[in-house]
A and B are shown apart, each in its own frame.
Chain A
Amino acid sequence: MLDPDRGLSLTIARVVQRLQGSSLHSQLERQARVSLHKPEIKLESLKEDIKDFLKTSGWEKKLQNAVYSELNMFPSPCHPAAPPEHIKEPLAYMRKAQGSWEKRILKSLNSMSTELNIPLAQKRPANEQKELLNKWNEMGTDEPDLSLFRPVYAPKDFLEVLMNLRNPNYENGEQPSFRNHLGLIQVPLKVKDIPELKEDFSELGLNIGQLGIDDSAQVPPEFFENEHVRVGQKVLAEQDSAAAQQYVRQGCPTALRADLWALILNISNQPEDILYYEQLKSNVIQHDLLVDSLIYKDVKLTASNDDYYFVFEDYLYQVLLCFSRDTSVLEHFTYSSATPPKSYIQGKLGMEEYAVFYPPNGMNFNYNSFILSVAPLCFLYHEPSKLYQIFREMYVRFFFRLHSISSHPSGIVSLCLLFETLLQTHLPQLFYHLREIGAQPLRISFKWMVRAFSGYLATDQLLLLWDRILGYNSLEILAVLAAAVFAFRAVNLMEVTSLAAAEAVLADLSTLKVMPLLQIFLFATVT
């Protein structure tokens, strides 16, 4: 075990290393230099004066936000001697499973490329480049022939892999009984129980005002809403990430949400960020990737048919095509259990100097789930480069965990296990009944969680849910909500006699109000 001081100094070292050389660093230096001209900076107390200056001019706050952001993203170091793969994923069997899953996906992608005789990447001819540039803002109306492309994998394939995970060091010699875990996930990860969740999510308690509950038509705004909005405006004026993160646990007022999320994710849309986005855009114009067609196909299948998101179809293409070429995303692989697949320039197989990551951002999966995590953001940000950055940050902070196999408490494996455990512990009769009729609850709720409920809830409800994801810096709330939904529809579910009927009962979540459901499940259910 690492002693706390050691851990702290390691963390500090890591944060310093990451921020060194960043644009914030150079801006701070520049500001410090500029301040030398100010009369209040005296040579005798240079260091103190500059520090004070940075504080009053708001630059210290920016640094604070950046540090806070780093702390949120990276796990605490386990031990200075821990190898890098332990930071990605401490459990060996998980790493192995993720590795085989990746191999499988890559194989599928390669065989598609061979079958269709389309290279994984190729430079676009000049006239095609020009054409694409012209219709950059309306790619949705261009319908290339996508019939031969198939998704790399379906969500249920991924679920199958998760179901088959086993810890080779764990021997469960007990006879299967009521007290054993009856669900699909059979790995012994630690998940929280309701008392622990109540503590973690204490701001969702019955005595605390919430947006999504206490701003409904029947409640006069003076009780909670007006004050909450006032506080929100203050938080924004202070530009304090940590305060914002605390604040959004009670929900964001719609008019403040875009700015609050940007503050929490530490996105400021600087000129260099816009430039970076434009650079990505030109990469898209110049080169055509095989995965582009997969993206097209998946956007057409999902967002174009969605009641809320169809309007933003074109933005989705722009964001996703750029994202697949964004190599800065490769950074997150240091703390993700996934590893970006490598591809080799034609004819140079195995020669490391000719290896490239494919696609450039290293992400290979079913874009389906992934597309739906961009779409809700279109309701908040209509400027493309800002939309892009917010999405990228949301992805490397949270959503990547839904697509890789890991032991992280916010990883999809833990979420599935948390969901099943909550259901089995608190609604055992329902769980048993569904299992008996061949309708394992996870089979239904998996798709909700893997998409963070996007495409299932009404947009305003989804945004209230994602407020809490940001506020608590965790995806566990997805599992809690999934269990709460089952609890809500328990009466109907007890009467069904087939998987199809159970699916039908849970098919339409668009009328659900998430905050009351969560509150009742966590705080008002007799356990």
Chain B
Amino acid sequence: FRIMAGKVKWVTDIEKSVLINNFEKRGWIQVAENEDWNFYWMSVQTIRNVFSVETGYRLSDDQIVNHFPNHYELTRKDLMVKNIKRYRKELEKEGSPLAEKDENGKYIYLDFVPVTFMLPADYNLFVEEFRKNPCSTWIMKPCGKAQGKGIFLINKLSQIKKWSRDSKTSSFVSQSSKEAYVISLYINNPLLIGGKKFDLRLYVLVSTYRPLRCYMYKLGFCRFCTVKYTPSTSELDNMFVHLTNVAIQKHGDDYNHIHGGKWTVSNLRLYLESTRGKEVTNKLFDEIHWIIVQSLKAVAPVMNNDKHCFECYGYDIIIDDKLKPWLIEVNASPSLTSSTANDRILKYNLINDTLNIAVPNGEIPDCKWNKSPPKEVLGNYEVLYDEEMAQSDGTDRDLRGRPGQSTGVKGSRARDSGKPVLTTWK
């Protein structure tokens, strides 16, 4: 019985080389789930078990896991919307300038999620909204699924008759959360590049929710649809036109295995600066950072800020042709599968930088540490928002990002809204 003193013992549910290679290169030791472990890269199923009333167990001080117990407050489509709506109402009630509305009753700063309803619960509310714009298109997404599964578009009420609560023909009996859907206004004017639709995948690491400390990975990417975008109604069924998930695009005829239909965020930045100008590009990226931070602030009060936890989220964002970013969803387990060589390198580095922040020095962790890593270990992460620092010192930021850089992502800075005294970053 040899004691491997000082070596981190790891377990993983996700058998991906980008993970395992990172563990091994740190000299960590692989163990089984029922043994003494220090670091466990869990699937969402496992985290549910660990923190469940029946099967759960207490984690000890030297154990770290990669999910927050109730991450679904952010990562389930319906709960995310619910939390954001709640957050907005709270701000409105306390008279915060953030909750300011325009003459149409739309939030000026907090309108970043497309109008969304839960089905079947909000069916009637949805119908009311639908009738205001009968030509609109809506997207139906199952709450509990990922990778584009089960998603479809509708433009007629008849297409979702079965979700109507008092529909006599409804065979939709079970109202368990598994079969719940959200229906959102479809953004049918996405920004197109080369005539193609794309979305942004950004990685955000949260080390603690209270105080909120989060990091944005500089090397996000754009995922392009292989087929030219058309809002024409005849193509509503063609998922290759509308859904950018790689899981779907991969099966298209034109999917390319070398670049995988992806662009780096810095390419996007270069393109936008060159064709649209610097100010609007900076404004766009500022807004993107803003909506990410706001979404985290919205769920922070309800999150179980367990000190054994950190989490790396995959944020999906769509930019419309007015250069307004929309938050589509947040993924708790962003895909670690690599579709191309570049992809593999990116994800490997992502995990590497994540581990450097979450498990300082690669040594056996102590969950009581202050979760404030030194600047040098951030790698490709940049501080997105640090609540503690924001509260102690209003103007100084960790990384005053510079506009127009090849890497493009800026650290947190005061919002350039032109409005007086928006203490928005505190």
Contact = CB atoms under 8 A, between A and B. Distances in A.
Interface string A294-312: 0000000000111110111
Contact of B193 (A215, A217, A311): A311
B278 interface: yes
Given A253-B278, A253-B404, A258-B275, A310 B261 contact: yes
A379 B274 contact: yes
B257 to A, nearest CB: 9
A378 B193 CA distance: 10
Most buried by A among B195, B224, B256, B274: B274
Contact of B270 (A138, A217, A225, A459): A459
Given A138-B228, A458-B406, A308 B267 contact: yes
Interface in A251-275: 253-255, 257-258
A305 B258 contact: yes
B274 A217 contact: no
A379 B275 CA distance: 7
Contacts of B278: 253-255
A428 interface: no
B259 interface: yes
Contacts of B263: 307-308, 311
A348 interface: no
A282 interface: no
Contacts of A308: 263, 267
A225 B342 CA distance: 32
Contacts of A137: 195, 228
Interface string B337-360: 000001000000000000000000
Contacts of B273: 254-255
Given A255-B273, A314-B228, A315-B194, A221 B254 contact: no
A346 interface: no
Question: Chain A interface secondary structure, helix, strand, loop or mixed?
Answer: helix
Contacts of A225: 404
Interface residues of B, number: 31
B17 interface: no
Nearest to B342: A307
A382 interface: yes
Interface string A376-391: 0011111000000000
A341 to B, nearest CB: 33
A378 B194 contact: yes
Contacts of B50: none
B402 interface: yes
A186 B272 CA distance: 46
A140 B281 CA distance: 28
B194 A257 contact: no
B196 interface: yes
Given A217-B405, A257-B274, A460-B270, A306 B259 contact: yes
Interface in B212-269: 224, 226-228, 253-254, 256, 258-259, 261, 263, 266-267
B259 A140 contact: no
Interface string B275-293: 1011001000000000000
A141 B254 contact: yes
Interface in B171-227: 193-196, 224, 226-227
A254 B404 CA distance: 8
Contacts of A138: 195, 227-228
B195 A215 contact: no
Given A140-B254, A314-B194, A314-B195, A379 B261 contact: no
Given A254-B278, A255-B278, A305-B258, A311 B224 contact: yes
A311 B196 contact: yes
B261 A141 contact: no
B195 A254 contact: no
A141 B227 CA distance: 7
Interface residues of A, number: 35
A255 B273 CA distance: 5
B69 to A, nearest CB: 38
Contacts of B270: 254, 379, 459-460, 463
A137 B401 CA distance: 38
Contact of A217 (B194, B256, B342, B402): B402
Nearest to B276: A255
A380 B276 CA distance: 9
A313 interface: yes
A319 to B, nearest CB: 12
Contact of A258 (B228, B274, B402, B404): B274
Residue among B193, B259, B261 with max Cβ neighbours from chain A (10 Å): B259
A142 to B, nearest CB: 10
Nearest to B281: A255
B267 A459 contact: yes
A289 to B, nearest CB: 24
Contacts of B259: 305-307, 310
Interface string A394-420: 000000000000000000000000000
Contacts of A215: 404
A312 B281 CA distance: 20
Interface in B393-408: 401-402, 404-406
Nearest to B193: A311
B380 to A, nearest CB: 13
Contacts of A140: 254
A368 B410 CA distance: 37
Contacts of A379: 270-271, 274-275
Contacts of A305: 256, 258-259
Contacts of B261: 310
B402 A311 contact: no
A312 B228 contact: no
Contacts of B193: 311
Contacts of B256: 304-305, 310
A225 B402 CA distance: 11
A311 B244 CA distance: 14
A511 B228 CA distance: 31
A255 B254 contact: no
Most buried by B among A308, A310, A458, A459: A310
A295 to B, nearest CB: 17
Contacts of B401: 217
Interface string A351-395: 000000000000000000000000000111110000000000000
21 contacts: A138-B195, A138-B227, A141-B226, A215-B404, A217-B402, A221-B402, A253-B278, A254-B273, A254-B404, A255-B274, A255-B277, A255-B278, A307-B258, A310-B224, A310-B261, A311-B194, A314-B194, A379-B274, A380-B274, A458-B406, A459-B270
9 nearest A-B residue pairs (beta carbon): A311-B194, A254-B273, A255-B278, A138-B228, A307-B259, A255-B277, A312-B194, A305-B258, A380-B274
Interface of B: 193-196, 224, 226-228, 253-254, 256, 258-259, 261, 263, 266-267, 270-271, 273-275, 277-278, 281, 342, 401-402, 404-406
